[in-house]
Chain A
Amino acid sequence: DTGVSQDPRHKITKRGQNVTFRCDPISEHNRLYWYRQTLGQGPEFLTYFQNEAQLEKSRLLSDRFSAERPKGSFSTLEIQRTEQGDSAMYLCASSSRDRAGNTIYFGEGSWLTVV
């Protein structure tokens, strides 16, 4: 069990550029989540996949954000035309069951700084 892996761990980009983050969940987990966290706050939900289907999207996920999970394996989160307000840590998590008994495991996060 290698845990949830995220890449890159840190990304500095200029405003207006596109960035993409990758998440590899724990291998037997069919549920995958993306969260965003800013300093001093708890993580905020962005989106949820069950296998390859994107079942929930937060209102925080503007049109500039898109997430995919082809073949129900790894996932990517792309941010287009980045803005300074996008600077945050993007966390990926996975789990194998829904709700009750649903221990969620997080990755180390991907830090984004938009300058």
Chain B
Amino acid sequence: KQEVTQIPAALSVPEGENLVLNCSFTDSAIYNLQWFRQDPGKGLTSLLLIQSSQREQTSGRLNASLDKSSGRSTLYIAASQPGDSATYLCALHSGSARQLTFGSGTQLTVLP
């Protein structure tokens, strides 16, 4: 059974800092990995999708990497802004399951 862990559970940084969020998983036989953002009380917004054959994806100030052999993915946020404050979730499609398996998320606060 796939298990997804995100550490730390919460992170607070000053505005302008570059930061890395971590996601680890137990089963390397994945099809893809997706990073989401969730604002309080809201649904999930897709940020980046990395297919299993890819090593990284970039969108604006965001860069996500995938290392299947070590069971890790990172989300790099450059020049953080207060508007980046949210919970960031990683999720994986793996095995024969059609569903995504989620981590518990990292709650990010960017201080002005």
Please list the residues of chain A having a beta carbon within 8 angstroms of any beta carbon in chain B: 4, 6, 31, 33, 35, 40-45, 48, 55-56, 58, 91, 93, 98-109, 111
9 interchain pairs (CB within 8 A)?
Answer: A41-B104, A43-B91, A43-B100, A93-B44, A100-B32, A106-B43, A106-B45, A107-B43, A108-B42
Complex Cα–Cα for A34 and B3 (A): 20
Cβ–Cβ < 8 Å partners of B105 in chain A:
42
Please list the residues of chain B having a beta carbon within 8 angstroms of any beta carbon in chain A: 4, 31-32, 34, 36, 41-46, 49, 51-52, 89, 91, 93, 97-105
Complex Cα–Cα for A44 and B103 (A): 10
The answer to whether A100 touches B52, judged by C-beta atoms less than 8 angstroms apart, is yes
Q: Separation in Å of the A65 CB from the closest CB of chain B?
A: 15
Cβ–Cβ < 8 Å partners of A102 in chain B:
31-32, 49, 93
Complex Cα–Cα for A106 and B36 (A): 10
Pick from A45, A107, A109: contact of B99, CB below 8 A.
Answer: A45
The answer to whether A103 touches B98, judged by C-beta atoms less than 8 angstroms apart, is no
Complex Cα–Cα for A102 and B32 (A): 8
Q: Separation in Å of the A109 CB from the closest CB of chain B?
A: 5
Q: Separation in Å of the B110 CB from the closest CB of chain A?
A: 20
Instruction: Decide yes or no: A103 and B99 within 8 Å by CB, A42-B4, A42-B104 being known contacts.
Output: no
A103 (CB) vs chain B CBs: closest residue: B49
Cβ–Cβ < 8 Å partners of A108 in chain B:
42-43
